[in-house]
Amino acid sequence: MKNDKYNCLVDYIRHVPNERLFLTLPEKNYTFGDVLELSNKFRADYPQLVNKSCAVLSNERDTLALFLPAINDICSSLFLQPHDIKNSDNSFYESLGIEFVIYLSDRKVSSITTIGNHKKEKTRLVKNFLLSTSGTTGFPKFVSYTLNSLVSTTQKDIKRGNDFVWGLTYDINRFAGLQVYLQAIVSGSTLVIPSVSANIDSLVQIFAKESVNALSATPSFWRKVLMVPFHKNIPLERITLGGEISNQTLLSALTNSYPAAKIAHIYASTEAGVGFVVKDKYEGFPLEFLDENSSLPCQIKIKSGLLWIKNSQTASKLIKGDIDTDDDFFVNTGDLVTIKGNRVLFLGRDNGSINVGGNKVMPEKVESILEQHPFIVMAKVYAKSSPVLGSLVVSEVELNEDGQKLTSKDLKLELLTFCKGLLEPFETPTLFRSVNSIEINATGKKVRNNK
C-alpha cells in the first residue's frame, strides 16, 4: 500500500473492511466501521476544530484510541499531551501553537477550551502529530512528526494484518504506544486495550482470553509478564521490546517461553524516530550495523562511546527543547555503548551514571548482572549519597519465591558472592533492599527517582 495519498488516520481506516474488529475495550468492542462513523459525527459536531492546532487530554487509553482518528481527521496539528505534563496554562499552549484543548473522558468529549484568538487560515496539506519526550533528564522536548514519517516502518498489508491481534501496554500519547496504535490501524489489525488499572496478572489473563498474538513492551514489563505462572497462555507470535536495554537473560527467557515467536528489539526514540530492529535474539546489535553500506533504514555511528543516529524518518521539526546533533545531522542518542567481539552492547544512559570515588558506574550494567541471578526477577540500581566517595551503589531487588526465603543477611552474602568477578568492587551494590515490586512508570520503564 502506497501511503502518499493517506493524509490522516481516517484515510487508512476507509480501506479496511467496515466489519473488521478494531478495538477490544473493557466492556465493549468497536469495528473499523464504528470508528469511521464516530469520526464523521465528530466532524459534524465540532466544525470549529477544522484545520486547527489542538491538544488532546485523556486519562483513559480506550477513550483516546476511540477518538484519535476523528480528531486527527479535522485538526491540522495534534498535540498528544502526556499525563505528567499538568497544570498547563494558556501561555504553555500558545508556545506550542495550540488553538484548542480537547478533553476526553468516559468515551466522549467532556469539554473543549479555546486558547487565544484565531484567524482564518488556508487548509494545511500536511498534518502533524506533536509528541513529548519522557522528560526523565529534565523538562521534556516537543517534536513534530508527519503521519507518513510515523508509519514509514509499519507493515501495511491489510490482508496479512487481519491475522494479528495486538495488545497495548503503553500510553498512546507516547511515541512507543502511538507506534503500536498506528500499526493496528494501518494494517487493519485488532487492538486490545485493557484498563490502565489492571494489574499484571489481569493483563496476562486478558491478553490470553482475547488471543493476543503480538505484543510490544519494555524489558521491565516483559520481566513481570514472565513471572505470571500462566503467561504462556498468551498465544504470542510476535514479541517486541523497546525503551530499555534488552539483556541476554531476558531474551533467552522469552525464547524459552515462546519458542515459536519472532522476537525483535527495536531501537527508537521520540527525537530520532524508529532507528533499527534487531531480530537475532541476541543482546545489543551486530557490529556490521555500523557499516555505511548496511541495509538499515538509518545510519549509526559511535563517537566517544556514545551512539549517534541519522534517520530520514526522524521528527520533522523541533518545537521546544534542544536536540544534540553534529555537522552531519546525526542525533546524539545519549546511550553509551561498547564493542565486544562482533557485537555492539548498550551500557546505559550517559547522564544516568553514578560517580563512585571518581569511577563511573552504569546502573543498567549492574542491573543486568543482578538479573542473571536465579533468585532475582528484576533489579533497580541507584545512587546513595556518601560524604567520602560522593555516591554509593544501592540496589532494590524483586525476588522470586526461593529468594524470599532468605534472610536479609543471607541475601546480601549470596548476592555479593555472585557479583564477585562479574563486577568491579566499586560497581557492586553496598546495600540490597528486597521489595515486593519494582515500580514502572506510564512508559513501562523503571522509575528512577531515588535519591
**C-alpha grid cell for residue 375?**
533468585
pLDDT of 131 > 80? The answer is yes
Mean pLDDT along residues 74-96: 84
Beta bridge partners of 423: 420
Residues in the chain: 451
For residues 77-96, give the mean pLDDT: 83
Domain boundaries, the chain: 9-283+311-322, 353-435
pLDDT score recorded for residue 417: 96
Per residue in 31-69, pLDDT (tens digit) is: 999 999 999 999 999 999 999 999 999 989 999 999 999
Rounded Cα–Cα distance for residues 36 and 422 (Å): 56
Q: What pLDDT does 450 receive?
A: 53
Question: Residues 111-125: pLDDT tens digits?
Answer: 999 997 665 555 555
Pairwise pLDDT comparison (286 vs 134), residue with the higher score:
286
Which homologous superfamily is 353-435 in? ANL, C-terminal domain (3.30.300.30)
Q: What is the DSSP string of 348-375?
A: EEGGG-EEETTEEE-HHHHHHHHTTSTT
Indicate left, alpha or beta for 439 from its phi (over 0: left) and psi (-120 to 50: alpha): beta
- Condensed to tens digits (0 to 9), the pLDDT of residues 202-245 reads 999 999 999 999 999 999 999 999 999 999 999 999 999 998 99
Closest by CA position to 66, among listed 38, 43, 46, 88: 38
Query: Following DSSP, what letter does each residue of 387-401 receive, concatenated?
Result: TTTEEEEEEEEEE-H
pLDDT at 342 (0 to 100): 94
DSSP string computed for 6-52: --SHHHHHTTS-TTSEEEEETTEEEEHHHHHHHHHHHHHH-GGGTT-
The class that CATH gives domain 9-283+311-322 is: alpha beta
What's this model's pTM, rounded to 2 decimal places?
0.88
pLDDT digits (tens, 9 = 90+) for 271-314: 667 778 999 999 999 999 998 877 887 889 999 999 998 876 65
The residue with greater pLDDT, 170 or 89, is 170
Question: Which pLDDT tens digit goes with each residue over 328-371?
Answer: 888 888 899 999 999 999 999 888 899 999 999 999 999 999 99
What are 341-346's contacts with CB under 8 Å, separation 24+? Answer: 341/287, 342/286, 342/287, 342/288, 343/282, 343/283, 343/284, 343/285, 343/286, 343/287, 344/284, 344/285, 344/286, 344/287, 344/289, 344/290, 344/302, 344/307, 345/283, 345/284, 346/245, 346/283, 346/284, 346/307
Provide the residue type at 143 as one letter: V
- Is the pLDDT score of 316 beyond 80? no
The helix/strand/coil state of 433 is strand
Can you tell me the distance from the alpha carbon of 353 to that of 284, in angstroms, rounded to the nearest whole number? Answer: 19
| Average pLDDT across the chain, whole number | 89
pLDDT digits (tens, 9 = 90+) for 402-450: 999 999 999 999 999 999 999 999 999 999 999 999 998 877 889 886 5
> What's the pLDDT at 301?
93
